[in-house]
Amino acid sequence: MPNPGQHYPDHLRGFVVSAADLFPSYEDNYHYHYQVVCRCGSRLFRVYVSDKESVKAHCAACNTEIMLYDLSKYPAATKLEGPEEFQRLTTKDQRDATKVFVMYEYSRLRENMEYDPNDITWFYLWLEDKQGVLEMMIDDETA
């Protein structure tokens, strides 16, 4: 049975549009692909990953910060405590600002189980290089 409602964590509300057409053989009732879009309309970002597996994007146009992946927000995950140190994540060709694509996986709902858009089981992140090729940068199981 497909999961009802939104298919991305709450912290991304207003920052994603479907990218299912770019991943047709991978899109199903449990895997949902999106392109990150800032509220200002920009689709170019600088991406940072932390030593605690958090991932955030900064809009290249207005510098809005968008949290893409944060283990503290997901019921099935555990995040290490303490301060986080972030480092820039870039494509092999060192593109300054890039289009960002994400995938969130959800498990099958069991009987009497309520759907929670924050209860993701897997996260993928792709960045687009200068030639328009998507490079997979992160493949992480949340549990």
pLDDT digits (tens, 9 = 90+) for 111-130: 777 777 888 889 999 999 99
The answer for residues whose C-beta is within 8 angstroms of residue 24's C-beta and 6 or more apart is: none
pLDDT digits (tens, 9 = 90+) for 94-103: 998 999 999 9
What confidence score (pLDDT) does residue 117 get?
80
Q: What percent of the chain has pLDDT over 70?
A: 95
Span of 1-15, 42-56, 92-106 with lowest mean pLDDT: 1-15
What confidence score (pLDDT) does residue 28 get?
80
Three-class SS string for the chain? CCCCCCCCCHHHCCCEEECHHHCCCCCCCCEEEEEECCCCCCCCEEEEEECCCCEEEEECCCCCEEEEECHHHCCCCCCCCCCCCEEEECCCCCCCCECEEEEEEECCCCCCCCCCCCCEEEEEEEEECCCCCEEEEEEEECC
pTM summary value: 0.89
Mean pLDDT across the stretch 42-67? Answer: 96
